[in-house]
Amino acid sequence: MQRIQTKDVDTIRELMKKGAFGAGVFQTADCRKTYEEMKAKGVEFVSPPKEQFYGVEAVFKDPFGNWFSMTQPK
């Protein structure tokens, strides 16, 4: 597994602050469980977990308005 470098995290963070990062996709082993954990921590979801042809997906956004897909592949 490749580790993300601190400079990469800083770059992503700066792009997100500018609203220039756009949409992103995160993979999870259990979308519904991760959804509940993130929601309990105050993450704002655009849509709850839904069955899709490719797996289960939930969409959330960050404080800067960037949208992210959280997907549990089939």
Determine, yes or no, domain membership for 12: no
Determine, yes or no, domain membership for 64: yes
Inform me whether the pLDDT recorded for 1 exceeds 60: no
* Number of domains the chain is built from: 1
Q: What number of CA atoms fall less than 13 Å from residue 59's CA on the CB side?
A: 11
Determine, yes or no, domain membership for 40: yes
Query: The domain spanning residue 33 has which CATH number?
Result: 3.10.180.10
Q: Determine the distance from the C-alpha atom of residue 30 to the mean position of all C-alpha atoms in its chain, rounded to a whole number.
A: 13
pLDDT tens digit sequence for 17-73: 766 655 578 899 999 999 999 999 999 999 999 999 999 999 998 888 888 899 999
Contact 67, 46 (CB under 8 A): yes
